[in-house]
Amino acid sequence: MLNFRNTNIFFIILLAIAIGLDWYAGIPFFVYPLLLLLYSGIVFWGCYFVHSNFFLPVICSAVTAKKEIAISFDDGPCNQYTPEILQVLQEHGVKTAFFCIGSRIGENKQLFQRLHSEGHLIGNHSYSHHFWFDLFSSKKMLEDLAKMDREMKSVTGLQPKLFRPPYGVTNPNLKKAIRKGAYTPIGWSVRSMDTVIKDEKTLFDRISKTLKPGAIFLFHDTNKTTIKVLPAFIQWVKESGYEIVRLDKMLHLEPYA
């Protein structure tokens, strides 16, 4: 199994072999930079692909034969777009998961409360969603997550257990923070790329190719294109014989502490 621990052991052994060969017979100097490059490439892959489970297990889909999927949204609440998304979901009778940024709760308290009152799951997506979040110490990460918890609890009375890493990046520090905070890390199996794709048809074509049982779709409630494609996507999913269920129900998880 390819993970951080096994990778370290493997490359330590390779380094020891290289040093031994170099001592007795001599090897080209480029072997050492090559080992470092290979090691760095694997660790980079582990950090930036949330489904790799390189540092810790992250739930990215459900193991099920049922024709059901879950929809999730990141980065809200956003007063400009979240209300329209909620309206679409209400019209289609769909419950989803919103992984929210804590710093956006204060100025959108009523909207945030609406997420909960309308039956949607709310998860922790950090308080700051800082650009350099993945470089924080484990202590600073945990403080950031706990601050989001406090903001959410002050509005809804609930404390989230489900956590989605900002940018989907994981590393040893985040592993420590997640374990100390007793969070359940959640990823996705389908990244819509709705923050990049601005053409409605292109976005729909991308996400409609990846429908399968247990899939977790990642959208953002901070984009106009998402609002445009969401009704057609929901309708297409249902016409394909699938049911859209709330994330915690599909994964059989307790969403709140």
Catalytic residue status for 220? yes
- Number of other CB atoms surrounding residue 39 within 10 Å: 17
The pLDDT value given to residue 218: 98
Question: Please, which residues have CB within 8 angstroms of residue 139's CB and are 6 or more apart in sequence?
Answer: 177
Residue showing tokens 């106009």? 224
Amino acid at 15: L
Question: Looking at residue 227, what is its pLDDT?
Answer: 96
Cα–Cα dist 253/146, whole Å? 20
User: Quick one: pLDDT at residue 25?
Assistant: 84
Q: What is the pLDDT of residue 59?
A: 98
Query: Residue 184 has what pLDDT?
Result: 98
pLDDT, residue 4, reads 97
- Which residues face 99 on adjacent strands? 74, 123
**Whole-angstrom Cα distance, residue 226 to residue 83?**
12
* Residue showing tokens 């709760």: 105
DSSP string, 167-218: GG---HHHHHHHHHHT-EEB--SEE--TTT---HHHHHHHHTT---TTBEEE
State the DSSP code for 134: G
Domain boundaries, the chain: 4-48, 68-251
Q: What is the mean pLDDT of each run of 10 residues along the chain (257 residues)?
A: 95 94 87 95 96 97 97 97 98 98 97 98 98 97 98 97 97 98 98 95 94 98 96 97 98 97
Structure-derived torsion over alpha carbons of residues 213, 244, 188, 182, reported in degrees to the nearest 10: -110
The reported pLDDT for the residue numbered 92 is: 98
Q: Which of 120, 125, 129, 220 is catalytic?
A: 220
CATH superfamily of 68-251: Glycoside hydrolase/deacetylase (3.20.20.370)
Burial of 180 (0-12, 13-18, 19+ CB in 10 A): middle
Is 74 labeled as catalytic in the residue annotation?
yes
Quote the pLDDT of residue 24.
86
